[in-house]
Amino acid sequence: MADRNADLRLENLTKRFGDFVAVDDLSLTVPNGSFFALLGPSGCGKTTTLRMVAGLEDPTDGRVLIGEDDITHLRPYKRPVNTVFQSYALFPHLTIFENVAFGLRRRGVKDYQQKTRDMLELVELGGYGDRKPGQLSGGQQQRVALGRALINEPGVLLLDEPLGALDLKLRRQMQIELKRIQTEIEVTFVHVTHDQEEAMTMADTIAVMNNGVIEQMGAPADLYENPVTTFVANFLGQSNLVRADVIDTAGGDVVVDCHGQKLRLAASRSHAAGRSAWLGVRPEKVFVAASEAEDHTGVNVLTGGRVTDVSFVGVSTQYLVATPWGQELMVFEQNTGRRPAFRNGDEVDLMWAPEHTFLLDADQDAHAGLMTPEDIE
């Protein structure tokens, strides 16, 4: 059996269904004991990737390794990997106790009874052993599914949209719970989700997937603050993207011309290859100021804006500001009460720090990764 305390490695993993490439030459390493999230919209190949690790799908090409052990073509029941299935897949004819004990009993573990009771305690279902899955609430079923997988002490625990069937409040609660359990038992979690907030709250590392490839991988804050593609910029949170031309790359900074206004950013935050680029900034990083009202040294400024929409959301106010070239940019402002809110039609300037600016390749679709109405459940 493979070493349970080793990294999970995917090497050039590819899966084709007929002409459709679900996963395209994907390589990544999940360090042992980490909480890893595969994030992407539906159909991006994240579930297929997970199923290949679980052994439920046979890769067209490439390898799956745990440590040095190649498990690419091992049958599912021979892998040191367990899965928390989407909608749980609990056995309806067995009790909660029997569900959780299932894996241990198949492997002939002698003291399965004690271990099962301990696991039911860990997932806070101590008194529920005799019930059937149908008698439990969604959140409880979720914990049974988790316990049923974890009791086998897998080298890697795979979670396929485990919280997707829960309502928002319960989902937040289970996110914290999952993170607590993961920290407690130090098992590698590979979590597949389309919910960017879920991925960011729980994971140490996120891999953003789109069209079968990884767009960007890193710590949640790095991905959010410094996205390298328009897809990541839009899928993870929201972004303002405006056309800009690179005019100077001398020194540590990149200077761009954005519709006649000069803006700058650190070279490490520029991911544009050519001269033409998308300049990006997150809405909450932008300050609105009355036209020509403030000092502009050391900040990026776009002048000549006009407020076209104001929505008050309690903790913040969200503005839409039209630029002189007719594009609408988003600004989220904390309601600190420092000054009265702007109103529709007010002439404003937009300001943000160069270290909150990022530059993306102009060849990319500025709308990639934007939520369409179908994506919102």
Partner 1 sequence: MSAAPVPAGPQPGSETARRRGWGWLLLVPGMLWLAVFFLFPTVQLVFTSLYDPSGSYEQGYAMTWHVANYVDAVRDTWNLFARSFLYAGIATGVCLALGYPLAYAIAFKAGRWRNVMLVLVIAPFFTSFLLRTLSWRTILSDQGPVTSFLQTISVLPDDGRLLATPVAVIAGLIYNFMPFMTLPLYASLSKVDYRLIEAAGDLYSSPFTGFRKVTFPLSLPGVVSGTLLTFIPACGDYINAELLGTPKQYMVGNRIQAAFLTEHNYPLAASLSLILMALVVLMVVVYVRRAGTEELV
Contact residues: partner 1, CB under 8 A: 54-56, 75-77, 81-83, 85-87, 89-93, 102-103, 106-107, 132, 148-149, 152
Q: Which is nearer to partner 1, 132 or 259 (CB)?
A: 132
The Cα 366–Cα 227 span in angstroms is 13
Closest contact distance (angstroms) between CB of 146 and partner 1 is 13
The Cα 191–Cα 280 span in angstroms is 28
Residue 109 burial (CB count, 10 A): 15
Closest contact distance (angstroms) between CB of 216 and partner 1 is 30
- Residue 299 in contact with residue 286, Cβ under 8 Å? no
Q: Which is nearer to partner 1, 144 or 242 (CB)?
A: 144
DSSP secondary structure string for all residues of 177-214: HHHHHHHHH--EEEEEES-HHHHHHH-SEEEEEETTEE
Closest contact distance (angstroms) between CB of 144 and partner 1 is 12
Q: Which is nearer to partner 1, 91 or 287 (CB)?
A: 91
Q: Which is nearer to partner 1, 76 or 324 (CB)?
A: 76
Residue 221 burial (CB count, 10 A): 9
Closest contact distance (angstroms) between CB of 130 and partner 1 is 14
What ranges in the chain are assigned the alpha helix state H?
46-54, 96-106, 112-122, 138-150, 168-185, 196-202, 220-225, 230-235
Q: Which is nearer to partner 1, 48 or 230 (CB)?
A: 48
Closest contact distance (angstroms) between CB of 103 and partner 1 is 4
